[in-house]
């Protein structure tokens, strides 16, 4: 009887760990969900990668889409639900450094466009990211909602606010997916090409 009970416990724990493994993925010590629920839509993990600067891993990033794709341009141009998740992995990343890094990425993403057209949205993004100190293990979900054409900002699953504009959404996702991404390897990882 004791052996039967031990067998039952073992089989239950194996089954539970398999179900758990199917719902999450671990990258560089960071556990990420395979899906994100937003406004009664399920966004699926399209790809995941690590952003490094000067030999230091600064964050793990994941791209979630309502329909999986390896076409960066169609993702940028799509007016459907999508999200990026940034999980801070270095204590060297502060709110200010994260904002400056995203601003540099936005400048690259817009290319020859006029960054002044997005001054209000960029200031709002900065204020939402800087509401409180950013520390290692903080997670940001930045989710585009086509219903109100805005980018919703969540920090550690807490809603911080939203940034309006479909055109802003395009340059924001272009930070990582444009023809001039901040990191070519990370772009390929997010597209599931690595």
pLDDT, average across residues 123-143: 90
The owner of tokens 């007016």 is: 79
Is residue 4 scored above 70 in pLDDT? no
Question: Domains (ranges, CATH) in the chain?
Answer: 29-190 (3.50.70.10)
What is the enclosing helix (H) or strand (E) of 119? helix 119-129
Q: For residue 27, give the nearest of 48, 56, 47, 54 by alpha carbon.
A: 48
Q: How many residues does the chain have?
A: 194
Per the structure block, which two tokens stand in for 9?
């416990």
Cα separation, 31 vs 27, in Å, equals: 7
Per the structure block, which two tokens stand in for 178?
């444009």
pTM listed for this prediction: 0.84
Cα separation, 119 vs 122, in Å, equals: 5
Is residue 90 scored above 50 in pLDDT? yes
Is residue 68 scored above 70 in pLDDT? yes
pLDDT, average across residues 92-97: 81
How much is the mean pLDDT over the chain? Answer: 85
pLDDT at 85 (0 to 100):
94
């Amino acid at each position: 009887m004791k052996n039967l009970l031990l067998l039952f416990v073992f089989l239950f724990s194996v089954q539970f760990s398999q179900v758990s493994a199917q719902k999450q993925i671990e990258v560089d010590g960071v556990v990420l969900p395979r899906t994100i629920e937003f406004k009664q839509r399920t966004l699926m993990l399209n790809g995941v990668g690590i952003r490094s600067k000067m030999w230091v891993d600064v964050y793990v990033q994941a791209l979630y889409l309502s329909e999986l794709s390896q076409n960066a341009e169609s993702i940028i141009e799509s007016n459907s639900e999508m999200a990026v998740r940034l999980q801070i992995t270095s204590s060297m990343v502060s709110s200010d450094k994260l904002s400056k890094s995203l601003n540099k990425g936005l400048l690259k993403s817009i290319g020859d466009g006029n960054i002044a057209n997005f001054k209000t949205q960029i200031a709002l993004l900065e204020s939402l990211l800087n509401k409180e100190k950013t520390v290692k293990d903080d997670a940001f979900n930045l989710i585009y909602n086509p219903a109100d054409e805005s980018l919703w900002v969540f920090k550690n699953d807490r809603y911080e606010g939203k940034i309006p504009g479909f055109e802003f959404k395009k340059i924001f996702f272009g930070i990582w997916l444009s023809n001039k991404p901040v990191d070519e390897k990370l772009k390929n990882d997010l597209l599931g090409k690595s």
